[in-house]
Amino acid sequence: MGAKIRNISEITVGTSILAVENNGLRAEGASTLRVVYAATDSNPNDSDFIRPASDIKYPTELTIGGIPLSVSALYDSNFNNASPNETDVIGTYYALDIIKNTAEPDSFQGLADNVNFVLNGNRLATTKINGLNYVSIVESARTIDPAKQIYFKGMPMATNRFNELLVRDSGYTIGDLNDTLEVMIGGIPLQVGRLNFKNYLIVKVMDESTET
């Protein structure tokens, strides 16, 4: 393994920036994505919410590696200075729905032994649990208010002003799943959970100070 790469705080995806953590302990200098959770703002007057049904048919899936992953359409009335009504889409963005795996990583694996996957030219970290690869994330406690857009597969997703990606915690657990499958990203099989005919990306939350 070559020289360790340290203190990376962001990566580029097209013309957009995503915040990451990188303490140099991951294989090939992979970074761990920083996220905040949509629809959890403590101020109900300034919160995001799942877009109510209207005459616009919003996508509910983001297809990656041939697997349709569940997303939620959300709306922020301040995002892009939009005012909500039944036909506005300016303030709409999509958040990937996730399920957290709370099991412990494989004890025989060091951080440098976990594989990484490539997304838009960036190496991102996975964590191996029971021999399977899960996307690694770091949870941020910062404000979730959408500030910028990032387009992925043609769908507008949002980051806050710190460039942290907004995702949505489905609230489900591994035990709720009907089945599991794999999505191939950058040649690496990543775990997805199937529940009620929807596919949810399964992630492992890492400690930003020691485990990124």
Tens digit of each residue's pLDDT (9 = 90 or more) over 64-109:
989 999 999 888 877 776 666 656 677 888 999 999 999 999 988 7
Residue 151 three-state SS = strand
Pairing of β 132-139 and β 198-205: parallel
Residue 113 three-state SS = helix
The pTM score is: 0.90
Residue 31 three-state SS = strand
Residues 6+ apart with CB under 8 A from 19: 9, 10, 33, 34, 140, 159, 162, 163, 164, 165
Answer whether 35's CB lies under 8 Å from 138's CB. Answer: yes
Nearest Cα residue to 171 out of 149, 198, 189, 145: 198
Is pLDDT above 80 for 56?
A: no
Q: Which two tokens stand for residue 17?
A: 């920036």
Higher pLDDT, 6 or 116: 116
Higher pLDDT, 168 or 153: 168
